[in-house]
Amino acid sequence: MNLEKIKSDIEAAVPGCRLQIILNGSPSGQHSLLLGREHAVEIARFLRDDPELRLDYCSNVTGVDWLDSETSEKVKVKKLVDGVEQEVEEVRKTRTPGYLEAVYHLYSMEKKHGPLVLRLRPENRTDHVTLPSLTPVWRSAEFQEREIFDLYGIIFEGHPDLRRILMWDEFEDHPMRKDYVEPNDYEYEPTPHDAVLEKSKQARAIEGQR
């Protein structure tokens, strides 16, 4: 399947949609297509019903959490040092804000081809975490989107039954996020080592303060 062609097909079928090809550096060569949120459901319908593509089977749906990242690069800049213009190396830092992501892997049972990888991104990872649900298009996303809601906290609009699936209803955190801190119940470990040793030391220090 040619991703460029699929992209132009979608653009012809759903006018005004935002699409971007995300390249994948691994030898697997599974490049993906980033969809704009506004037209995601329309695009999904097109992919499912288009007689050439017929991606009728949504296999895998999952979330990914990308934290804020900082990349630093050395840049040569011309600067006035002591009144003389010199070329000085400067470290420039670029901060990429973190985001959440939902990834869909599509196959076709009729045409027996695939996978086509779709990505959807909410605006940020704190307060605007909504995405349109693709469960009305592929029902196989039902439990998997619930799982993303449970573990990553992405709210899927239009999902028929969006509840926590793996953790209990009273639970408040989203444990698969990279910055989740789990409850410290390591108060005793027969042979503590590495990270567990640190945790048990901390726990004992807290115990001592009380």
Partner 1 sequence: MDLELKEALSRQGIFTTTLEELYNWGRRSSVWPLTFGLACCAIEMIATSMARYDLARFGAEVFRPSPRQADLMIVAGTVTKKMAPQVVRLYNQMPEPKYVIAMGACAISGGPFKQGYNVLKGIDRYIPVDVHIPGCPPRPEALMDAFITLQKKIDAQSLTGADRPRHLNAEEPSEFIVPQYGAHDLEPPKNVKLWNIITKNIPNGPGTASDNEPRKD
Partner 2 sequence: MEMIAPAAQELIPNNAAATGDDALLEISLGPHHPSTHGVFRMDVVLDGERVVKLKPVFGYLHRNHEKIAEGASYLASMPYTDRLDYIGSLTNNWAYALAVEKLAGIQIPERAEYIRVITAELTRLQNHASTIGFLTQEMGASGSPLMYSFREREKILDLFESLTGSRMMCNYMRFGGCRVDLPAGWLDQTRKVVADFPGFLDEFERLLEGNEILLARTQGVGVLSRELAIQAGVTGPILRASGVNYDIRKVDRYGIYDRFDFRVPLGEHGDVYDRYMVRMLEMRESLKILEQALRDIPSGPIMDTKTKIRGFRPKAGEAYGRIESPKGELGFFLISDGSPNPYRYRVRPPSLINLTVLEDMCLGSNVSDTIVIFGTIDIVLGEVDR
CB count, 10 Å around CB of 76? 9
Q: Which two tokens stand for residue 194?
A: 């590495």
Using the rule CB under 8 A, give the single segment among 36-44, 50-58, 73-81, 198-206 that binds partner 2: 50-58
Which 73-102 positions form the footprint of partner 2 (CB under 8 A)?
none
List CB contacts of 31: < 8 A, sequence separation 6 or more. Answer: 3, 21, 22, 23, 24, 117
Q: Does 60 bind partner 2 (CB under 8 A)?
A: yes
Q: Does 169 bind partner 1 (CB under 8 A)?
A: yes
Whole-number minimum distance, CB 107 to partner 2, in Å?
A: 8
Cross-strand bridge partners of residue 94: 71
Which one of 2, 4, 16, 28 is in contact with partner 2 (CB under 8 A)? 28
Q: Does 36 bind partner 1 (CB under 8 A)?
A: no
Report the alpha-carbon distance of residue 65 to residue 141 in Å, rounded. Answer: 19
Cβ atoms of residues 174 and 122 within 8 Å: no
- By residue count, the chain amounts to 210
Query: Is the peptide bond prior to 115 cis by the omega test (within 30 degrees of 0)?
Result: yes
Using the rule CB under 8 A, give the single segment among 15-23, 81-89, 108-116, 168-176 that binds partner 1: 168-176
Which 181-200 positions form the footprint of partner 1 (CB under 8 A)?
182-183, 185-188
Q: Does 161 bind partner 1 (CB under 8 A)?
A: no
Which one of 81, 109, 167, 197 is in contact with partner 1 (CB under 8 A)? 167
- In three-state secondary structure terms, 96 is strand
Of all helices (H) and strands (E), which one includes residue 72? strand 69-81
Q: Does 159 bind partner 2 (CB under 8 A)?
A: no
Using the rule CB under 8 A, give the single segment among 10-18, 71-79, 126-134, 168-176 that binds partner 2: 168-176
Report the alpha-carbon distance of residue 139 to residue 109 in Å, rounded. Answer: 15
Which one of 42, 43, 100, 115 is in contact with partner 2 (CB under 8 A)? 115
Q: Which residues bind partner 1 (CB under 8 A)?
A: 166-173, 175, 180, 182-183, 185-188, 204, 207, 210
